[in-house]
């Protein structure tokens, strides 16, 4: 018999494929459900088995059944915290914010030393516009989690939230503190680089990139990407176009799934008027990130620019139907293709 762990990974991949294609193929869903239920007996108390089953119900549009599976996971699995976090995220996805926050709060109370619970709760609060509550959640979580990688993750989220509230000095102070604790912390340096870029403090950003390069080494992809971003934001970007191109091309070669790098390279091509290459960059990236709305939007821009407006219709399938931008893209395509009846429907 096949190893249950390996067999479960195969079913997870099949679920991922269904999600990626926005498919509700009843036969495929039933087949995966049957196989996962069979595997469940050999993987007792495994929270991810419940997650796969819940995902199948969600794909099929059975919201109540999906929720029931997650609530069963909270009761039956040893890692009830992870189950409760997933339940909270599900409730948030299905527009039941108060219940989502309640579930996330329960996870924090159940396992106060688990950073994932605090981060999930704060993200749900933030998405609901409860910025002060989210900040308070992260601050409480930082204190509860003590030292370690989890606490650092919370501190990074907290710094990002300070920025959102225009508390730049607080954000910089927190990031500087993380860097002093661990000079090899690339995540804190990248966040600090973004702060400097947002403030258009090019010298500070360049210095921080230099420090990141020392951590990674000459061949590191992170500093290359940040350097390309910085140069592309500068007034003299055109004189550095070849260098920017080389940096981003090497980053993408090392990690073809890095959609942000593809976004920046495509933007460079657009600025240079290299429309065919920009289209190729976006299409290649979308082959891996079929639901990246940012890439879809950029590709639409290029297709409209070169007169391939009819091809924009095929891109609508790449926008998740529950996306807040779905209606916008539908209207945009209707207008550029001259489908006025659809535009005013």
Closest CA to 315 of 335, 344, 295: 295
Output the pLDDT for position 321: 64
Predicted local confidence at residue 210, as pLDDT: 95
**Residue length of the chain:** 345
Long-range contacts of 124-132 (CB under 8 A, 24+ apart): 124/88, 124/89, 124/92, 124/97, 124/100, 125/101, 126/161, 127/92, 127/97, 128/92, 128/97, 128/101, 131/161, 131/164, 131/165
State residue 90's pLDDT score. Answer: 94
Q: At what angle do helices 293-305 and 326-336 cross, to 10 degrees?
A: 10
Apex 139 CA angle, 138 and 141, nearest 5: 60
Distances from the Cα of 59 to the Cαs of 22, 29, 311, in angstroms? Answer: 8, 8, 28
| Beta carbons within 8 Å of 8's beta carbon, 6+ residues apart | 36, 39, 43, 46, 48, 49, 52
Which ranges of 128-240 does DSSP label H, i.e. alpha helix?
131-145, 149-164, 168-181, 186-198, 202-216, 221-233
CA dist 196 and 193 (Å) reads: 5
Helix, strand, coil percent values for the chain (each to nearest 5): 75, 0, 25
> Which pLDDT score is estimated for 307?
87
pLDDT value for 290: 57
pLDDT of residue 124: 94
pTM for the full predicted model: 0.69
pLDDT score of 342: 58
| pLDDT at res. 322 | 64
pLDDT at 345: 55
CB 190 within 8 A of CB 222: yes
Q: What is the DSSP letter of 292?
A: -
Regions in the chain scoring below 50 on pLDDT: 1
pLDDT at 119: 92
Confidence at residue 319, expressed as pLDDT on a 0 to 100 scale: 72
């Amino acid at each position: 018999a096949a190893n249950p762990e390996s067999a479960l990974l195969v079913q997870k991949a099949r679920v991922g494929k269904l999600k990626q294609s926005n498919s509700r193929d009843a036969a495929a869903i039933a087949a995966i459900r049957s196989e996962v239920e069979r595997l469940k007996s050999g993987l007792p108390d495994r929270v991810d088995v419940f997650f796969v089953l819940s995902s199948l119900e969600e794909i099929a549009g059975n919201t109540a059944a999906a929720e029931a599976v997650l609530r069963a996971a909270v009761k039956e699995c040893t890692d009830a915290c992870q189950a409760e976090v997933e339940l909270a995220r599900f409730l948030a996805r299905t527009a039941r914010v108060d219940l989502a926050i309640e579930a996330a709060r329960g996870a924090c109370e159940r396992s106060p030393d688990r950073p994932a619970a605090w981060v999930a709760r704060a993200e749900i609060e933030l998405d609901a516009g409860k910025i002060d509550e989210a900040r308070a959640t992260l601050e409480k979580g930082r204190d509860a989690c003590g030292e370690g990688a989890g606490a650092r993750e919370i501190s990074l989220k907290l710094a990002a939230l300070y920025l959102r509230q225009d508390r730049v000095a607080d954000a910089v102070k927190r990031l500087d503190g993380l860097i002093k604790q661990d000079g090899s912390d690339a995540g804190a340096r990248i966040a600090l680089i973004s702060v400097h870029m947002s403030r258009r403090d090019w010298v500070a950003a360049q210095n921080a990139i230099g420090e990141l390069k020392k951590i990674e080494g000459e061949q590191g992809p992170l500093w290359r990407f940040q350097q390309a971003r910085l140069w592309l934001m500068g007034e003299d970007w055109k004189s550095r176009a070849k260098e920017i191109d080389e940096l981003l091309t090497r980053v993408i070669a090392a990690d073809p799934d890095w959609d942000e790098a593809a976004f920046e390279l495509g933007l460079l091509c657009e600025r240079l008027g290299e429309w065919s290459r920009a289209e190729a960059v976006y299409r290649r990236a979308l082959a891996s990130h079929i639901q990246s709305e940012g890439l879809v939007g950029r590709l639409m821009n290029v297709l409209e620019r070169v007169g391939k407006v009819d091809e924009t219709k095929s891109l609508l399938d790449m926008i998740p139907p529950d996306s807040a931008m779905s209606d916008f893209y539908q209207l945009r395509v209707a207008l550029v293709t001259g489908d006025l009846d659809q535009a005013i429907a």
